[in-house]
């Protein structure tokens, strides 16, 4: 039997953690872009757009991420579209992230007093102009802490992609645990690496919350 | 043709009809005070004029711009008529100067230097030229309201709607805002104001509209309305004021 040193285990886990980081970044960036689009639909004046957006949000928040991963991986290949695991994982995570970010941001937009909409409307601004110059700059300030906080969920969510065969931190942990027969050590390290990734995020979320509150300008 | 023509306007919130057929024509340069109990529909009427509320029947026209629900018509209307709110509604993330510049640049596409010059001019006009770089939370309520007036004036409207502009102010700050409004009136700006400042209405306005239960109950020059109220409702309303 081959002997694995602790360093062997840790080194290989850290190499795999790169993919966790990449996948998290992809999911978060893509999710932010799609989420912004969903947000605009969700608060638009057209009823069809609002219904579509809230249906989207309900669907992706109301089903487990695991099922979404299965469906985008196995479902698409059943339809004859071969998707590699990384692509299926990316798509599912982006759509899932978008549904949560859209809803978080909607709350932030709605927290802006109605008077801001009325004042900017009475000055002749159109809806997009109001959003861009008056509402979003104020909503952004409130949105930063919960958005950064949610990014922790995205990082942890990437661990589910191991199920469809994408080799990131959790999957690497499985493989290495099977090879070394040292599951406790291996999964202990896996958990530790996730914690090291997530802890700064949740800390900075708390920090930003305090900082932006101090800077918050009342009217 | 009058500057503002309000014809047979009706407005309901659900089953509750708050405006029951309002007719009112305003000539250029007129200063109109709208008085009445809360719930009489006076604020709603004002908000209908620039399309913040949709109307159920009737028509409203300001200097040829017709009230309609699409964004294009609304924009044309809102360029003619500015509005000042009870709660100031300054943009808190922008300085006083930026507040006055923003809509000029965004809506009228005025180049920045010109918008800035206009903002300076308008802030000077309300006596706040030195507060150009102050944020709203660094200003008193009275100062904020004056910035809001400057912001509306910078769009060069033909008429201004004032919705209880001094109601949210501490008593000692009311006068500085009223002084600015008075000056506008003297310069010939057309003003429609919902107000509880009866003395101000008496001194400054050309006509007073008394609203009651969603109708124009009495209308006339201030001397007539305050000096010789025709209806028991108005007498009671004026009596309750003092």
Chain B positions contacting chain A at CB under 8 Å are: 50-52, 71, 74-75, 78-79, 82-83, 85, 87-93, 102-103, 106-108, 135-137, 144, 148, 151-152, 155
Residue in the structure block whose two tokens are 């960036």:
A29
Cα-to-chain-centroid distance, residue A46: 27
Output Rg (C-alpha) for chain B, integer angstroms: 18
Half-sphere exposure at residue A49, Cβ-oriented, CA atoms within 13 angstroms: 10
Fold observed for domain B4-90+162-241: Rossmann fold (3.40.50)
Contact call for B107 and A124, based on CB within 8 A:
yes
Assess contact for A124 and B107: CB atoms under 8 A: yes
> Strand pairing partners for B9?
B22
**pLDDT digit string, tens, across residues B205-238:** 999 999 999 999 999 999 999 999 999 999 999 9
Domain extents in chain B: 4-90+162-241
Chain pair A-B, CB pairs under 8 angstroms: 76
Task: Supply B187's token pair.
Answer: 């310069």
Q: Which domain holds residue A11?
A: 6-215
**pLDDT digit string, tens, across residues B59-118:** 999 998 899 888 889 999 999 999 999 999 999 999 999 999 999 999 999 999 999 999
Number of domains in chain A: 1
For residues A34 and A207, the model is more confident at A34
- Burial A62-73, CB ≥16 within 10 A → b, else e: eeebeebbbebb
Task: Supply A149's token pair.
Answer: 């906080």
Cα-to-chain-centroid distance, residue A201: 12
- Give the CATH number of the domain where residue A204 resides: 1.10.3720.10
| Contact residues, A window 130-149, toward B, CB-based 8 Å cutoff | 133-134, 137-138, 141
Chain B residue closest in CA terms to A136: B93
Residue in the structure block whose two tokens are 């909503």:
A139
Averaged pLDDT, A74-88? 88
d(CA B189, CA B217): 25
The answer to whether the Cα torsion of A63, A65, A71, A74 is positive or negative is negative
Interface contact A44, partner B, CB < 8 A: no
Question: Which one, of A218, A133, A219, lies nearest residue B148 by Cα?
Answer: A219
**pLDDT digit string, tens, across residues B34-45:** 999 988 999 999
Q: First vs last Cα of chain B: how many Å apart?
A: 38
Adjacency order of strands within the sheet including B4-13: B16-26, B4-13, B57-62, B65-66
pLDDT for A219 equals 41
Assess contact for B133 and B96: CB atoms under 8 A: yes
From residue B87, give the alpha-carbon distance in Å to each of A37, A39, A100, A117, A118.
32, 28, 33, 13, 11
With respect to residue A10, please indicate whether it lies within any of the assigned structural domains: yes
């Amino acid at each position: 039997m081959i002997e694995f040193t602790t360093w062997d285990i840790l080194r290989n886990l850290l190499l795999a953690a790169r993919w966790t980081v990449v996948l998290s970044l992809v999911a978060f960036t893509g999710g932010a872009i799609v989420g912004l689009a969903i947000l605009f639909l969700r608060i638009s004046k057209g009823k069809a757009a609002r219904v579509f957006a809230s249906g989207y949000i309900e669907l992706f928040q109301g089903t487990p991420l695991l099922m979404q991963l299965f469906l985008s991986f196995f479902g698409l290949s059943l339809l004859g579209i071969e998707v590699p695991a990384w692509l299926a994982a990316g798509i599912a995570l982006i759509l899932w992230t978008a549904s949560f970010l859209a809803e978080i941001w909607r709350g932030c937009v709605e927290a802006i007093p109605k008077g801001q909409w009325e004042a900017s409307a009475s000055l002749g601004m159109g809806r997009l102009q109001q959003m861009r110059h008056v509402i979003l700059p104020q909503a952004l300030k409130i949105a930063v802490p919960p958005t950064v906080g949610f990014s922790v969920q995205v990082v942890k969510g990437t661990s589910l992609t191991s199920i469809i065969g994408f080799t990131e931190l959790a999957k690497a942990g499985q493989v290495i645990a099977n090879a070394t027969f040292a599951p406790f050590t291996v999964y202990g390290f896996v958990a530790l690496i996730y914690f090291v990734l997530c802890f700064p995020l949740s800390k900075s979320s708390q920090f930003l919350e305090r900082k932006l509150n101090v800077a918050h300008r009342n009217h | 043709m009058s500057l503002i023509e309000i014809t047979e306007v009706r407005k309901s919130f659900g089953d509750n009809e708050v405006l029951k057929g309002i007719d009112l024509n305003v000539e250029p340069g007129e200063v109109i005070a709208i008085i009445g109990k809360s719930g009489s529909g006076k604020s709603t009427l004002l908000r209908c004029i620039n399309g913040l509320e949709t109307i159920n029947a009737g028509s409203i026209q300001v200097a040829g711009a017709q009230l309609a629900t699409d964004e294009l018509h609304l924009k044309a209307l809102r360029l003619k008529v500015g509005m000042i709110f009870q709660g100031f509604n300054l943009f808190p993330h922008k300085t006083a100067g930026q507040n006055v510049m923003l809509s000029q640049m965004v809506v009228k596409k005025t180049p920045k230097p010109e918008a800035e010059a206009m903002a300076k001019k308008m802030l000077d006009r309300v006596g706040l030229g030195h507060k150009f770089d102050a944020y709203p939370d660094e200003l008193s309520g009275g100062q904020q309201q004056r910035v809001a007036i400057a912001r509306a004036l910078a769009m060069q409207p033909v008429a201004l709607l004032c919705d209880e502009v001094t109601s949210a102010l501490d008593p000692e700050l009311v006068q500085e805002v009223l002084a600015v409004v008075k000056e506008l009136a003297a310069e010939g700006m057309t003003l429609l104001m919902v107000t509880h400042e009866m003395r101000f209405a008496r001194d400054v306005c050309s006509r007073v509209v008394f609203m009651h239960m969603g109708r124009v109950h009495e209308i006339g020059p201030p001397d007539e309305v305050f000096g010789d109220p025709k209806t028991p409702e108005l007498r009671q309303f004026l009596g309750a004021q003092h």
